[in-house]
Amino acid sequence: MVFDSDMDKLAAVTVRAKERPEWNSFAEFATLRSRGVRSEAIKQLKSFLDDASAWDFSAQLTFTKWALEESRQFSNPGFFLPQPVHVRLIVPTVRAWLDIAPSDAEPHLWLGLLRCDDPSRHLERALELDPTCEPARQTLAQWILADIDYNQHELPALYIHDPRDDLKALDQASSLAEGSAVGE
C-alpha cells in the first residue's frame, strides 16, 4: 500500500537523484511516479534500466547502495524500487558485490533484507561479519517473533509448531534484542 507520505518522500528523492546526471532518467521516473503518472513512469524506468545496463560495475554499485539506503524510508520500498529495478539492477549488483567482497557484511545484509536465497542465513552472516549490524539484528528478531505469532494464531484449538522450539526461538530473539550475536 502506498501512503501519501511515500509520495512526498519520492518527490524528495527525485531532488537527490537529479544531483547525478547519469541518474536523470531515474529522477524522471521518480517524478512521474510521485505525480501518479504510472504508465509514463514505467516507460521512463525502462529507459533508466537500459542505460544502467551499460554502466560499469562501480557505477551500478554506487546507484544500488544509494537506492537501497533511500528505500529504507518508504513504508512500501517497492513503490520507490519496483520489481524491474530489483530484477535487472539491484539484486544482480548486490550478488556481484558479494562475489567481490564475501567478507563484507553489507551485501549479506541487503540480500537478506531483499529476501534473496536464504534471507535469514544472509542476515546471520551479516551479523557474524559485523556484530554491530543493527538492521540485521532487528530484522532477524522481528522475523522470529512473527513466526512465533503465526504459530499461535489457531489457539486455543491448535498450536501449529512445537512450543519448545518456539521457546528456544524466543531466547534467540531475546539475545538478538540484547545485542548478542546469532547462536550465542
Q: What is the pLDDT of residues 41-86, one digit of tens each?
A: 999 999 999 999 999 999 999 999 999 999 999 988 888 999 999 9
Instruction: Please tell me the pTM assigned to this model.
Output: 0.84
Residues near 13 by beta carbon (within 8 Å), at least 6 away in sequence: 30, 70, 80
**Cα-atom radius of gyration of the chain, to the nearest Å?**
19
- Residue 95: name the closest of 82, 111, 83, 84 by CA: 111
Give dist(CA 8, CA 110) in Å, integer: 25
Which residue in this structure is represented by grid cell 514505467?
42
Q: Which of the two residues, 137 and 8, has the higher pLDDT score?
A: 137
Residues near 147 by beta carbon (within 8 Å), at least 6 away in sequence: 161, 166, 169
Output the pLDDT for position 3.
Answer: 53
Q: What is the pLDDT of residues 50-62, one digit of tens each?
A: 999 999 999 999 9
Task: Please give the grid coordinates belonging to residue 118.
Answer: 536464504
